[in-house]
Structure 1
């Protein structure tokens, strides 16, 4: 099993209380710690604002990719996932190719259709229908793959039209930058993944993972691609402790951190989200991940609830979980 680590960037209030002048220091130091450790990759979300909206700072994903390219040397750099509608796909492909070169060939591109309506509208993108957003995803991925493999792209689509858009430098990676298709829509998203993805990410839960895998496999058969060549991943929140009391304390910390920020109707769903991932002692989490591996999970991106404030959880996972699963 392979492991990536999510880096806090503020969108879920996970930098709350850290002075703004120190927030990038925290982000950079965590990225460099991951670079020195066993994690294969580091990841961020593609959001401009918090959910729900607030004045809390949120660092932008692709600015971070360029900065990570400069301040790390080993880990791969990814997003879960870039919203296709936020950037013209030819421009995004050009930007990604440059960052791939700047990083020495370490970029991953996670891409999806986008969902956060307030963010779309507040930034002036409107909010296209689900069908249109999925159509934008499919066309955009075609443009990006052309630009990374041939150095130019032409597509006269419904949503995007490019005519000989040039992308030089080419990415350093043979065959272009690996594509992660994020999302679990069974009719269109997983079909796009079957056609173009090297990796998929179904979301932040193991619920339904086996069913989504079967749907993806069926699409692969339909379009003539190799299901087994697509690595299936999952993003999982982690609350880990040496003892069950330590785990309970970690979960209690989450409530204490978020309770002053959100009204009850928003607080409880968020707490449910944070505590539905990997919760337990190292031994319990190894058992959970062993079962996930049997389900077909090949890559876990771990998100540590308290990463910006305390490295204990990361150290415990690094020392007592990863070695048991990456032998």
Structure 2
């Protein structure tokens, strides 16, 4: 199994209490720590407002961080899970990503999806198109990016984007362009786009739900004449590990206590239940066993979000010592 880790950027209230003037130093230090460790990739979210409620707390922008991490690390790959297609013109996004690929020496991954955070869309003046339109935007945008990264130009006269000979030079460092992660499990459109264009998918759910999504992806691949083995399946996990169940519980309690003043009691309780149900919660032995089961069902890449990372690295250190070596 291959492993990625999310870095705190504020979106999930994971930099609260740290002076904004010190937050970049915190993120950079954690990126460099991951760069020196066993992780294949680091990830951020592409959002502008905190979740599950918008607030005045800082949320740092994903593609700015991509460039900054590219310049301040040397090995680790750099991704977003996932870039919202509707937030940037796709020709412009292709240009940005190609530039970051050069800054990083060819280490960029493009996580891309249709987007969902309505408050954020409307606040930034993007409106909030219906789901079919957001997915058409995704399909057109992926087409534009693939053209740009393989030919250096892009032309598409679509329903949502009208690009006519957009020049994207230099090409990305990576031969054939930047790897595409199509995020989401929409069965009619998202997984069809993934079957057409993805190097990686990203969806989660129960084992039964994962199996079903994977079968739908394979059906799309069969119709399109693509080998599904060319696509790596990934999932994201909210991860809290402790050497004992009691220690894991103590870590979770500390996370919820930090979130509660910002999200309220009802949302804090919901988040707590999400962690308790996560395959990434528990002792190293429990987490390893669950991830082994996921691997047996076709998941080849797991990406882990550690909510305490900006404050305490002992949990991620435990994961690095005991979980990754058992599965890598």
Q: TM-score range by the shorter chain?
A: over 0.9
Q: Structure 1 stretches of 5 or more lacking a match?
A: none
Aligned 8 A contact 2:275 2:281 in 1? no
Question: Which deviates more, 11-20 or 273-282?
Answer: 273-282
Following superposition, the deviation at residue 280 of structure 1 comes to 1.2
The answer for the alignment partner of 2:22 in structure 1 is 22
CA distance in 1, matches of 2:260, 2:299: 33
Whole-angstrom CA distance in 2 between matches of 1:179 and 1:47: 19
The match for 1:291 among 290, 293, 317 is 293
Note closer, same or farther for the CA distance 1:116–1:239 as it changes in structure 2 (3 Å cut): same
Equivalenced residues, count: 326
Quote the residue 1:31 is aligned against.
31
Which residue matches 1:157? 158
Query: Do the aligned partners of 1:205 and 1:235 also contact (CA within 8 Å) in 2?
Result: no
Q: Secondary structure at the match of 1:12?
A: coil
Unaligned segments of structure 2, at least 5 residues: none
Q: Distance in 2 between matches of 1:252 and 1:232?
A: 31
Q: How far is the alpha carbon of 1:206 from its aligned partner?
A: 5.3
SS of aligned partner of 2:262: coil
Partner of 1:223: 224
Runs of at least 4 residues of structure 1 off by over 6 A? none
Q: Give the TM-score, by structure 1 length.
A: 0.97
What is the match of residue 148 of structure 2? 147
CA RMSD of aligned residues (A): 1.1
Query: Matched residues in 2 for 1:238 and 1:131: separation?
Result: 32
Name the structure 2 match of 1:124.
125
Q: CA deviation at 1:207?
A: 6.1
The 2-side partners of 1:105 and 1:238 are apart by 28
Contact 1:205 1:236 in 2 (8 A): no
Residue in structure 2 matched with residue 309 of structure 1 by the alignment? 311
CA–CA separation in structure 1 for the residues paired with 2:246 and 2:189: 44
Q: 1:1-327 alignment to 2 at 5 Å?
A: 1-51=1-51, 52-203=53-204, 208-277=209-278, 278-326=280-328
1:120-177 per-position Cα deviation (integer Å, ceiling 9, x unaligned): 0000000001000000000000000000000001111111111110000100111100
> Does the 8 Å contact 1:204/1:237 carry over to 2?
no
SS of residue in 1 equivalent to 2:239: strand
Distance 1:309 1:283 in 2: 24
Comparing 33-42 and 10-19, the one that deviates more = 10-19
Partner Cα distance (1:267, 1:244) in 2: 20
Distance 1:260 1:225 in 2: 49
Whole-Å separation in 2 of the counterparts to 1:18 and 1:206:
37
CA distances 1:221-272 after superposition (whole Å, capped 9, x unpaired): 1111111110000010111011111111112112211122222332222223
